[in-house]
């Protein structure tokens, strides 16, 4: 059979070649966008008098019928039609007859696929934003619950200063808020309509690309037809955003994995989000968190795969570009599922404040506060820092905390020490005192939560 896409009536391709070149097995995911784009194109052709009003209506109605067939699961996708565009157009022509063959007037699959993919990427990116907002809401809820729960804040994985669990959770919430902002910004560039670029050079038909763009809720139209059909920056941008979301999720998962280790014991994993071991009866493994960390590598792979596909491409459309969709679809699945998993896991996870509090007594987390105590009373900070260091040495020797050192010893270091130093060494006071902008103090936490809820 001569191929639908072949003007020269090229005869049937080798079955292996057909299998190798087809994209319909996966690009059918874009059917809604393809049909919406074709509908807008048909209405534009009629408006411009390139086809009659009646023909335009027949095409739009036919496309609706095709859409209904696909959604009802009765549409027959055929590999011999290569991609989703040809599948839909050939079925349309079966349904409406000869007029179906007018749909592609003034259009190429090159601008068609670029339009479909832009609409699809934008739709998915908007869905990621919704999922991000849900996750941010969950983090804010859990933070509100645990504003007064303290745990050791770490740098270099070593005990540093006491922080509120809320502060730790909100750190992630702000990463995810940046991710959502980034997606919203990228959306401006994603939603630029390339339709009207035709194959590469524009067209002599009096098309109205602005009309098509407005019909589809796009943000504007292309400026250069060659760029319009060969550009996939929009997909790269979205994929970068997704890869960065995965990076943030992966770091969060790493914290959860560490906290779930019995040496920490800061969290109890919900049964629904953990698994046992087939050999070790005591095990409760953080598989969901581990897989999310693992899938982050896969997300980077998808992003870099598209980078590599694009780097050597000459102008303009090259069939290599077909490789954009599978990677995007895979990444979309990864990031969408991961965001859902993360929100579920955080909603259900049990925090163990007693274990966190117990951990505060190890690691001299109030050493900075000891130094600050002296600084406030007039000692230059560098000297105060040394004095506090000496106190840490002594506490380590005695096997106690700084708050357990006798006042006599402290006064031996500096006469500035008074009875009230023990208040300054109290962990909750130390954390509560950090009301600097964005700090871990309770008022700061409230402000952060309010910002995230806005
Ligand atoms: N399936 C193709 C793709 O995804 C559609 C565009 C094909 N264009 C062409 N000139 N062969 O890129």
Each residue's pLDDT tens digit, 250-274: 999 999 999 999 999 999 999 999 8
Q: Which residues pair with 268 in a beta bridge?
A: 350
Catalytic residue ranges: 156, 277
Dist. CA 173 → ligand 1 center (Å): 40
Q: Cα(111) to centroid of ligand 1, in Å?
A: 9
Lowest mean pLDDT among 202-206, 243-247, 257-261, 358-362: 358-362
Element (H, E) at 55: helix 53-71
Q: Cβ-count burial of 425 within 10 angstroms (0-12 exposed, 13-18 middle, 19+ buried)?
A: buried
pLDDT for the residue numbered 130 = 98
**Other C-beta atoms lying within 10 Å of the C-beta of residue 391:** 23
In this model, does residue 332 exceed pLDDT 60? Answer: yes
Is the CB of residue 305 below 6 angstroms from any atom belonging to ligand 1?
no
Pocket flag, ligand 1, residue 63 (CB < 6 Å) = no
Res 281: pLDDT = 79
In the predicted model, what is the mean pLDDT of residues 408-421?
Answer: 97
Using a 6 Å cutoff on CB, does residue 322 contact ligand 1? yes
pLDDT at 322 over 90: yes
pLDDT > 90: percent of the chain: 94
Per-residue pLDDT band for 11 (boundaries 50, 70, 90) equals confident
The Cβ-side half-sphere exposure at 372, using a 13 Å CA radius, reads: 14
Q: Is 391 left (phi over 0), alpha (psi -120 to 50) or beta?
A: alpha
Q: Which fold has domain 110-147+163-198+223-358?
A: Fumarase C; Chain A, domain 2 (1.20.200)
pLDDT given at position 9: 65
Q: According to the CATH classification, is domain 360-443 in 3.40.309.10?
A: no
For 146-286, where are the alpha helices, taking DSSP H only? 165-190, 209-215, 225-230, 233-260
* Region(s) of the chain under CATH 1.20.200.10: 110-147+163-198+223-358
CATH fold, domain 15-105, is: Fumarase C; Chain B, domain 1 (1.10.275)
- Whether 109 lines ligand 1, by a CB cut-off of 6 Å, is yes
3-class secondary structure for 319-363?
HHHHHHHHHHHHHHHHHHHHHHHHHHHHHHCEECHHHHHHHHCCC
Q: Band the pLDDT of 4: cuts 50, 70, 90.
A: low
pLDDT for 275 beyond 90: no
- Look at residue 13 in the predicted model and tell me its pLDDT: 82
Q: Is 60 exceeded by the pLDDT of residue 1?
A: no
pLDDT of 127 > 90? The answer is: yes
Q: Residue 2: pLDDT above 70?
A: no
- CA dihedral (195, 199, 205, 206) in degrees, to 10, reads 30
Angle, alpha carbons 191-128-292 (nearest 5°) = 140
Contacts of residue 222, defined as CB under 8 A and 6 or more positions apart, other chains included, come to 192, 193, 194, 196, 197, 209, 228
* Burial letters 183-222, b for 16+ CB under 10 A, else e: beebbebbbbbbbbbbbbebbeeebbbebbbebbebeebb
Mean pLDDT of 18-37: 98
Question: CATH 1.10.40.30 occupies which residues in the chain?
Answer: 360-443
3-state secondary structure of 155: strand
Interior CA angle at 382 toward 376 and 388, to 5°?
A: 75
Helix pair 109-145, 233-260: axis angle to 10 deg: 30
In the reported structure, the alpha carbon of residue 99 is separated from the centroid of ligand 1 by a whole-number distance in angstroms of 23
pLDDT over 70 for what percent of the chain? 99
The pLDDT, as a whole number, for residue 3 is 67
User: What pTM does this model have?
Assistant: 0.95
Mean pLDDT (the chain, rounded): 96
Domain with CATH 1.10.275.10 in the chain: 15-105
Structure confidence at residue 264 (pLDDT)? 97
Q: Assess whether pLDDT exceeds 60 at residue 382.
A: yes
- Mean pLDDT of the region 82-102: 98
């Amino acid at each position: 059979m001569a191929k639908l896409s072949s003007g020269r009536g090229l005869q049937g391709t080798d079955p292996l070649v057909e299998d190798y070149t087809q994209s319909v097995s996966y690009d059918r995911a874009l059917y809604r966008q393809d049909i919406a784009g074709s509908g807008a194109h048909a209405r534009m052709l009629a408006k411009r008098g390139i086809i009659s009003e009646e023909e335009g209506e027949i095409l739009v109605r036919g496309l609706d019928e095709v859409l209904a067939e696909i959604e009802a699961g009765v549409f027959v996708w055929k590999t011999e039609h290569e991609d989703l565009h040809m599948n839909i157009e050939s079925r349309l022509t079966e349904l409406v007859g000869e007029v179906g063959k007018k749909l592609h007037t003034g259009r190429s699959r090159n601008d068609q696929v670029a339009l479909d993919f832009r609409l699809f990427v934008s739709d998915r990116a908007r869905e990621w934003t919704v999922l991000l907002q849900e996750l941010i809401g969950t983090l804010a809820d859990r933070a509100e619950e645990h504003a007064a729960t303290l745990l050791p804040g770490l740098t270099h994985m070593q005990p540093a200063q006491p922080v509120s669990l809320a502060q730790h959770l909100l750190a992630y919430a702000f990463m995810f808020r940046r991710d959502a902002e980034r997606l919203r910004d990228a959306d401006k560039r994603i939603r630029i309509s390339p339709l009207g670029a035709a194959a590469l050079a524009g067209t002599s038909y009096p098309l109205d690309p602005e009309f098509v763009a407005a019909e589809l809720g796009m943000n504007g139209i292309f400026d250069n037809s060659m760029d319009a059909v060969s550009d996939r920056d929009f997909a790269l941008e979205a994929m970068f955003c997704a890869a960065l979301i995965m990076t943030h999720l992966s770091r969060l998962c790493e914290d959860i994995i560490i906290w779930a280790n019995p040496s920490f014991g800061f969290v109890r994993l919900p049964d629904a989000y953990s698994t046992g071991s087939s050999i070790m009866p005591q095990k409760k493994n953080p598989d969901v968190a581990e897989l999310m960390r693992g899938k982050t590598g896969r997300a980077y792979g998808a992003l870099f795969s598209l980078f590599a596909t694009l780097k050597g491409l000459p102008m303009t459309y090259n069939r290599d570009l077909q490789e954009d969709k599978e990677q995007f679809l895979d990444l979309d699945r990864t990031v969408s599922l991961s965001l859902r998993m993360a929100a579920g896991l955080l909603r259900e996870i049990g925090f163990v404040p007693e274990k966190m509090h117990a951990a505060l007594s190890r690691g001299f987390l109030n050493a900075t506060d000891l130094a600050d105590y002296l600084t406030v009373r007039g000692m230059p900070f560098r000297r105060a820092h040394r004095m506090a260091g000496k106190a840490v040495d002594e506490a380590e020797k005695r096997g106690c905390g700084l708050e357990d050192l006798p006042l006599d010893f402290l006064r031996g270091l500096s006469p500035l020490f008074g009875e009230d130093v023990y208040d300054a060494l109290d962990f909750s006071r130390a954390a509560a005192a950090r009301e600097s902008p964005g700090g871990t103090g309770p008022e700061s936490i409230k402000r952060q939560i309010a910002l995230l809820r806005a």
